[in-house]
Amino acid sequence: MAEEIAADTVPHPETDHIVLQGQVIKRSYPIASVRPLTWEPKFIFLQPEVEPSCATVSRAMA
């Protein structure tokens, strides 16, 4: 299942949240993994794009 879903994920980019005046009010920078994992905790996805992969895997497992 992870391989199917991984095709629809990307690493989270560094993000600065800025107000209209240009002031940074929040920084969202992903941290490095503490130990190797099979799934990176900082990956993101768009739900409508990943749902077909989940459905395909779910049907295959049934």
pLDDT, position 26 = 93
Put simply, whether the predicted model's pTM sits higher than 0.75 gets the answer no
pLDDT, position 37 = 64
**What are the b/e assignments for 41-59, b being 16+ CB within 10 Å?**
eeeeeeeeebeebeeeeee
For 13-47, write each residue's pLDDT tens digit.
888 999 999 999 999 887 777 766 666 667 788 88
pLDDT, position 11 = 81
pLDDT, position 24 = 95
